[in-house]
Chain A
Amino acid sequence: MAVATRKQKISALGWRHELLGLLFTSPWSLGFLLFTLYPLVSSLYYSLTRYDLMQPPVFIGLLNYTRLPADRDFLVVLKQTLWWVGFSSPAGVISAFAMATLLNTQILGRSVYRAIFFFPSIVPQFVVAIVWQFLLNINYGAINSTLRAIGFESIPFLSNPAYAKPSLLLIHMWSQGSAMVIFLATLQDVPRSLYEAATVDGAGAFRRWWNITIPLCSPVIFFNLVMAFIGGWQTFTLPWLLTQGGPNQSTEFYALNLYRNAFSYMRMGKACALAWVLFVIVVAFTGILFKSTGRWVYYEGK
């Protein structure tokens, strides 16, 4: 009885509710139309044109896309980016998980260590790039001048194509504080009773870690891996400021090249095509990662 009256009231006032809802969410929906949907559609259109901002866009069909497989620049960039995404996403997750595991043990002054491990991740990336550039400088950076003082050769961290990406990887692993905080919260949620029961059954530290910690954390590991992966494809500030994509294009990642095409070469059409290819790659790879979850991600209650 009461339910029926309530239903009637909703349908009688339905249009008012609808209007109120639309009104409240209108800041977002207007923003969505102006700053997401319209740019998405027009980006798709621009990707079919040649456009340098000076002359009006010229329709060239799929040429921006079909030229890519033969574009040497694009292939080099794709290779460098695949290396970067392939190494940086697992390395970042491992670094964050290792720090969190260490902090989750019985230690005095945990909050101090947590603060120290976390802090690099909130410092502006442009400051990080500039400080590390000086720190890794081949002549007078702290590391190389120490090495030379004790009789070793300098390491060309940023000036040798073979070292540039690993150096970026090092900095990447150093700034994993946010992921670490997420892992730490997850680790602290693992019920102690499980560990106690396993200890009673005679499981050693490694087996407890492998059979309890890892499975219970796997959804969060997966989440962080996906985020790292999406972020990896879009890495910009650090390589842009540290190495400008060099030396010898060794750190010319996808987002750098896209920016260069748009704002240095004024190839707006090609930049849009590159962005759509990026979108498709990210969606496809994320989809594959999600498909693989059944194999290794443990969801409670499933």
Chain B
Amino acid sequence: MATSVTTRKRAITNEQAAYWARLGPLGWLSEILKYLLLIVLAVTFMLPFIWMFSSALKDSSQVFSVPPIWIPRPALWQNFYESWTAWPFNLWLYNTVIKYAIPATVGTVVSSAIAAYGFARLEWRLRDILFAVCLATMMVPGQVTLVPLFIVFKKLGWVNTLMPLVIPSFFGGGAYNIFLLRQFFMTLPNELSDAARIDGANELGILFRIVLPLAKPALTVVALFRFMGAWNDYFGPLVYLSNDKQWTLARGLERLRGSAYEVGSSRMAYPYLMAVSSIITLPILVAFFFAQRTFIEGISLTGIKG
């Protein structure tokens, strides 16, 4: 394992060296320009995050300074704690993760896997028609169903709970995920399920004991994107949650922003706003750091937005 990594690294270096050796003077100039462009672009891309993080550490004398301060001295690390606890962010975090993201992810993974199995590995006559209908639903803009769904959920008494955002995930988990898992299931060899059938396994057993363990990479993609979809969701909580006891982090951050823009607000409102923004961004950064391949493969696999 360790040797193969070193060989791979050396191979890249050799290729790079050969590439550089071939360059003429003009090539070197364009090479320098290319790296210059890359570095300028990379810094520009990170600028909003650098600004967010550095502003999070500022005190009231540094926030509005001209020219702007990029490295605050002193750096107020306690801003993270103070901003988070000045508002009920722990409750909003609990709502986001425990009441929304986790149940929605579980519902999506389980129900889309079951449905995808029916579309991918069972033979029945209505299958192709229903699958076409499933794909066609991707064309329907969310706005078309927005009002009637709101009315239904209001009649059910689900407005101001997270049910409208969680429960639909248990019903198929969205056409995209069914499509993605179906494509993956179809690549698995049929011999495995046939062998299990001969041994007397039923279809549910085949799904859970044979297909799902082999489909872990695809399931990870579905789970990751669903969890992040809940973490990043703003529109759903905006429509359904008006009571701040039920809010998610998205609504909480919006409320904090509102306080920063109120007349007569404390100057520390801005550092606090940026501190909470940093805290909300951090899990995404950590997840990306550890699961970069899953993110990138997932997106190339499906073409869906993260």
Where the two chains meet, the residues of A that have a C-beta atom closer than 8 Å to any C-beta of B are: 10, 14, 17-18, 20-32, 34-36, 38-40, 42-43, 46, 53, 99, 102, 105-108, 111-128, 130-135, 139-140, 142, 145-146, 148-150, 174, 177-178, 181-182, 185, 223-224, 227, 230-231, 233-234, 236-237, 241, 255, 258-259, 262-263, 268, 271-272, 274-276, 278-279, 282-283, 286
Contacts and interface: CB of A to CB of B under 8 A. Distances in A.
Contacts of B257: 130, 133, 241
Interface in B25-42: 34-35, 37-38, 41-42
Given A42-B148, A181-B300, A227-B303, A18 B125 contact: yes
Tell me the interface secondary structure of chain A in the complex.
helix
A120 B172 CA distance: 29
Interface of B: 16, 19, 34-35, 37-38, 41-42, 45-49, 51-52, 55, 63-68, 111-112, 114-115, 117-119, 122-127, 130, 133-134, 137, 139-152, 154, 168, 170-173, 175, 178, 203, 228, 231-232, 234-235, 239, 250, 253-254, 257, 270, 273-274, 277, 280-281, 284-285, 288, 292, 295-296, 299-300, 303-306
Contacts of A31: 111, 168, 170-172
B203 A124 contact: no
Contact of B115 (A27, A116, A274): A27
B292 A115 contact: yes
Contact of B144 (A18, A40, A116): A40
A166 B254 CA distance: 23
Across chains A and B, which 6 residue pairs bring their CB atoms closest together, nearest first? A31-B171, A24-B118, A28-B172, A21-B124, A149-B67, A39-B145
A126 B16 contact: no
Identify whether the interface residues of B are mostly helix, strand, loop, or mixed.
helix
Given A27-B111, A36-B137, A178 B305 contact: yes
Contact of A178 (B124, B143, B281, B299): B299
B172 A24 contact: no
Nearest to B143: A275
Given A122-B306, A263-B239, A115 B147 contact: no
Given A53-B154, A131-B51, A276-B144, A35 B303 contact: no
Contacts of B144: 39-40, 43, 272, 275-276, 278-279
Given A46-B148, A236-B235, 10 more contacts: A20-B124, A21-B123, A24-B118, A28-B175, A113-B38, A125-B234, A135-B48, A145-B68, A255-B143, A278-B141
Contacts of B137: 32, 36
